[in-house]
Amino acid sequence: MPKTILGKPVDESKWNEAKKQAAEQGHAGEYDYVMSIYKKMSHLKSKPDMKLVILSKGRDRPIGYETPGGYIKTAKGWRKKTGGKGKETEIKEKIEDTKVIMKEAQKQGNTKLVEQALERLHKLQSQLKSA
């Protein structure tokens, strides 16, 4: 059980109830499923001002988010979105992010996402050569 969710302390009784409901629905031990039930029970919502970027793992589990302030959260953590760095630097950063995504997908055995990441990687590398 996490200590906080979206900056708010977790109600242990609600968390246990969410686990119980998840198990009843055939999703025992699935952390994301329990989390979604808990958030609904507690009326918690993720920050709506963030939009999905990069690629998706599927099942509402995004790889990266972008805030209106220009920050991007990836598997590596938060970083400032490129501004005036130039096209080449921007493409190199996208290549690095895609490599991180690909490694994460390989760990999870998600072959579809690995293929998507490889395809994106090839496109970015060809863009880098022409930049």
Residue 107 pLDDT: 84
Q: At CA 17, angle to CA 11 and CA 19, rounded to 5?
A: 105
Residue with tokens 């880098």: 128
73/80 Cα distance (integer angstroms): 9
User: Which has more confidence, 128 or 78?
Assistant: 128
Look up the pTM and report it. Answer: 0.38
pLDDT computed for residue 19 by the predictor:
92
Domain ranges of the chain: 4-42, 51-130
Mean pLDDT, to the nearest integer, of 14-43?
A: 88
